[in-house]
Amino acid sequence: MTAMSQPPDCYLVTEEAARFLRLSGRTLEKHRTSGTGPTYRKIGGRVVYAIVDLQTWADGGAQVSTSDPRRGRVAPPRGRAAPAVSM
């Protein structure tokens, strides 16, 4: 497949991106404000997310074991403390 025949990146507005990630739109807004969320773009006055960026951000939270709670964790929006982990 050549570069010309590849489909363009698909962009989602905040509410669509939130549904894609199974989050609320407000959660994505908080992540955007605190700098802890997925990469986004501003096109005109509209915020959009590329699906590949949403997948990359979500993959940052991938884990293979509950015994290593800090590895592979997507950070919560700043201002909210992560739940304490008891050992």
Here the CATH number for the domain that contains residue 42 is 1.10.1660
Give dist(CA 76, CA 59) in Å, integer: 15
Residue 42 banded pLDDT, cuts 50, 70, 90: very high
Q: Backbone phi, then psi, for 76, in 5-degree steps?
A: -75, 160
Looking at residue 4, what DSSP letter applies?
Answer: G
* Residue 59 structure tokens: 């993959």
Residue 83 banded pLDDT, cuts 50, 70, 90: low
Q: Flag whether 10 is in a domain.
A: yes
**Position 86 pLDDT exceeds 70:** no
Per the structure, how many domains does the chain have?
Answer: 1
Alpha helix (H) residue ranges in the chain: 14-21, 25-34, 51-59
Q: What is the mean pLDDT of residues 21-25?
A: 96
Length in residues, the chain: 87
Q: Flag whether 28 is in a domain.
A: yes
Q: Quote the pLDDT of residue 57.
A: 95
Q: Flag whether 33 is in a domain.
A: yes
Identify the CA nearest to 36 among candidates 80, 77, 81, 79: 77
Q: Flag whether 55 is in a domain.
A: yes
Give dist(CA 71, CA 73) in Å, integer: 6
Q: Flag whether 80 is in a domain.
A: no
Q: Flag whether 26 is in a domain.
A: yes
Supply the range of the domain harboring residue 17: 3-59
Q: Quote the pLDDT of residue 61.
A: 85
